[in-house]
């Protein structure tokens, strides 16, 4: 997708259930950085490309769906860490597919090296970018790769 004059210069950052506990929840798996750190890193990275970020985190699936639906109006793409919804939510997958925006899926831990149930991702075939197991810095990678797709510098 090559941006036109009317392409919004905004990304939606979606963080799913339990990601509000970053920094205190299982730091041996997720590290010590907080959700605020994630949001600040994402905003700084997007700003390097002249984009802004709207962030949403919720433990309630419907709130995330509403934010994804609203992104159709004013966002060029979505960076999402669906948390546990990755492995369980067909409706989240359908929302991402339905808005027809490029999506970057990011996971702080290496979900493929964890429990078997974490190997399934309902988002995998919707996302044009996948960043797994890079810790919080993976959000930076996800933003850069997604913006390369959005601006036409890379294929998704």
Determine the Cα–Cα distance for residues 1 and 122; give it in Å rounded to an integer: 23
* Catalytic residue ranges: 30, 107
Predicted local distance difference test score (pLDDT) of residue 8: 87
**Is residue 139, in this structure, part of any structural domain at all?**
yes
Range of the domain at 101: 10-150
144 annotated binding-site participant:
no
69 annotated binding-site participant:
no
**Is residue 3, in this structure, part of any structural domain at all?**
no
Q: Which domain CATH number covers 99?
A: 3.40.50.9100
State the total domains in the chain. 1
SS3 call for 31 = coil
**Is residue 77, in this structure, part of any structural domain at all?**
yes
**CA distance between the termini of the chain:** 9
User: 127-151: per-residue pLDDT in tens?
Assistant: 999 999 999 999 999 999 999 999 9
Matching residue, tokens 């989240």: 92
Record the pTM: 0.91
**Is residue 114, in this structure, part of any structural domain at all?**
yes
Contact between 96 and 68 under an 8 Å Cβ cutoff? The reply is yes
């Amino acid at each position: 997708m090559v941006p036109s004059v009317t392409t919004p210069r905004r990304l939606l950052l979606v963080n799913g259930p339990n990601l509000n506990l970053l920094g205190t929840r299982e730091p041996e798996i997720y590290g010590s950085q907080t959700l605020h750190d994630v949001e600040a890193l994402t905003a700084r990275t997007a700003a390097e490309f002249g984009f802004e970020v709207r962030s949403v985190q919720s433990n309630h699936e419907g709130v995330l769906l509403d934010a994804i639906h609203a992104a159709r109006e004013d966002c060029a793409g979505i960076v999402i860490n669906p948390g546990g919804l990755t492995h369980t939510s067909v409706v989240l997958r359908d929302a991402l597919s339905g808005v027809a925006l490029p999506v970057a899926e990011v996971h702080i831990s290496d979900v493929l090296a964890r429990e078997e149930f974490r190997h399934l991702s309902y988002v995998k075939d919707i996302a044009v970018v996948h960043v797994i197991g890079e810790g919080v810095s993976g959000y930076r990678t996800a933003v850069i790769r997604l913006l390369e797709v959005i601006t036409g510098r890379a294929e998704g």
